[in-house]
Structure 1
Amino acid sequence: MPRQVAPPPSGEFTFRLQKPFSGTPTHTVEVIGEPNRPAVVRVSQYNGGNKSSEKTGDVPKDDVNELTTLVSTVRGFPSHPSKDVYGQDAKLELNTFEIQWSNEDEDAAANEVSEIAAETKDDFKRVVDSIEALGRTFAKNDSAV
């Protein structure tokens, strides 16, 4: 069942990546903004469940547009509340006006899927890698923890 999350107003979006999929996070990457405009990226590192450092930065408009296009490819992908069916050990949450999706959503269809197609896993990995790359590339400024 899809999450019952209200879409953000006026085209705003939030893309959140957390590793590992379950348990205490070691790091998160959040990209927050609006299409066709620069966005903010925030990378948080955790030490034993406590935030140990946080860096922020601005993502250029062209990279935001590329990411929003890429993110739309995972629309309708299966999800599972207790396991990462994509093999990335990553929790991905997408919240746009068009998409409210997480790979940890309760999805009855995911229980019926014994094997996720390699192409689907590749698409998911591409989104995860892109969000992590934006964090590494643009989150350079220290933020108050």
Structure 2
Amino acid sequence: PLNCQAKLKIAKTAQEQDFEETVLATDIDFEDIYLNINRNQYSDLLDVLEWKFAYTAILNEHVRLRLATFKWEVIKENLNRYKEYREIYLQELNHHKNEKRAQELEKQIDLFNLIYIRRTAQIQINIQLFSFKINLLCLI
């Protein structure tokens, strides 16, 4: 329920009174405002709040996270990470170990890109070995 008093004053048209007073003057006095809701209204309010929470959670966890991955700064950081990991993995394939940094980068890189980087590094090593063997055969 809402308890209020309202006073409404309607004057003549503005042209008839030479624009001296406003045409419509209101004075509303709210003494007390009470909010009474029944059980069904309370349940509906909780449902709305639950949906708002779910919307915010999904927005923050999925939508904004996906949008953030397409910022140039993030793309550049990821590419630098990928290049660094590729170099470390190439060194690892050539029997030079740098396990600590490799493990740090493996935690930051997703599985798909990790497998892709490793596979391209293995292909590069195979190409280098093949070209080395061809060069040896050409020298003989």
TM-score normalised by L of structure 1: 0.24
TM-score normalised by L of structure 2: 0.25
The structure in which a higher percent of residues are helix is 2
Q: Which structure exhibits the higher relative contact order, with contacts defined as CA atoms closer than 8 Å and separated by 6 or more residues?
A: 1
The structure in which a higher percent of residues are strand is 1
Which of the pair has more CA radius of gyration?
Answer: 2
